[in-house]
Amino acid sequence: MKGHTIKEWVLATRPWSFPASTMPVFVTMMFLWSKGMDVNWWLGIMALVNIVLVHAAGNVWSDYHDYKRGVDAPDTYGVRILTDKQFTPKEVLTLSVSLQVAAVAMGLLMVWQTGITLLWFGLAGIALSLLYPPLKYAALGDLVIMACYALLPMLGTTFICTDNVVPQVLWLAVPVGSITVAILHANNARDIETDRRASISTFAMLTGRATAINVYLFEMILPYCWLLIVALLGNVSLWTLLTFITLPIALGNCKQMLSCKTEGIKAIATLDEATAKLQLAFSLTLAIGLIIEALT
């Protein structure tokens, strides 16, 4: 791994996407605190670090396979580290394996400190991460993302921090997961033609771009409608409605996606990154609402 700076190695992991993995863990910790539970903060921090390692490993693992499969090419949008010859495929593969080994080592340490239940969450996460490329090519990427970056980490974090699985956190997994899936969907809606050329299948390809645009709009609006309903029903605190502060960002993303109809796919070239920024803003305001609940 010679010839690259630390900054270049870090950028190769696509750190702009990390809110998709860190925010579910952070929100879960704040949710547990808001419910008056005894939270093991040290293990929670370990979970945050671990999921970053898993996410980073998964990103470069996916980039390696996308390049080998021809999904990423010199004329495609998105990741450029291989198509622009910034890194060699061997370097990217080695980086992914190294990060995965580090993640597994930390995961086993957390299993030793908590219990065997966590092992099953970890094995499921690792399996989905390694199988993500072929599953993504078979139009199952959206489901994998919902599992890996909402359901599994949020349920797993409840066990890590409290020694119990707390299913009530799934009320928050729906809005958080919807935005995370929208990151991938924005990417796939943009890349329909080049993905078809690479002989893969995505959900956006199956629906066509017109429907894919509407699906993205749904994924943007669902989190706010969902939280409003479950808050009014008393399943979550009304303080979670602080997330509505971020609604203008979501509407801006919707406007950008709709502009694709008249301006072409260039209009949504960076919509995946914009959606990741919404994830960060939405989840932080959600966490702030939970913190206020905990303090009042």
Cα angle, residue 25 at apex, residues 24 and 29 outer, rounded to 5°: 115
Strand partners, 209: none
State how far the Cα of 290 lies from the Cα of 245, in Å rounded to an integer: 15
Instruction: Please write the tens of the pLDDT for every residue from 80-137.
Output: 899 989 999 999 999 999 999 999 999 999 999 999 999 999 999 999 999 999 999 9
DSSP summary character for residue 270? T
DSSP summary character for residue 238? G
User: To 10 degrees, the CA torsion angle through 263, 257, 272, 238?
Assistant: 160
The pLDDT-based confidence of 2 (bands split at 50, 70, 90) is low
Centre a 10 Å sphere on the Cβ of residue 131 and count the other Cβ atoms it contains: 12
Q: Which residues contact 295 (CB under 8 A, 6 or more apart)?
A: none
DSSP summary character for residue 164? S
Q: Please give the model's pTM, rounded to 2 decimal places.
A: 0.92
Average pLDDT, the chain: 94
Domains of the chain: 6-295 (1.10.600)
State how far the Cα of 6 lies from the Cα of 183, in Å rounded to an integer: 26
Residue 79 has pLDDT above 80, yes or no: no
pLDDT of 1 reads 46
Instruction: Please write the tens of the pLDDT for every residue from 170-195.
Output: 999 999 999 999 999 999 999 999 99
Helix axes 89-113, 116-137, angle to 10 degrees: 150
- Average confidence (pLDDT) over 214-242: 97
State how far the Cα of 140 lies from the Cα of 244, in Å rounded to an integer: 30
Sequence letter at residue 279: Q
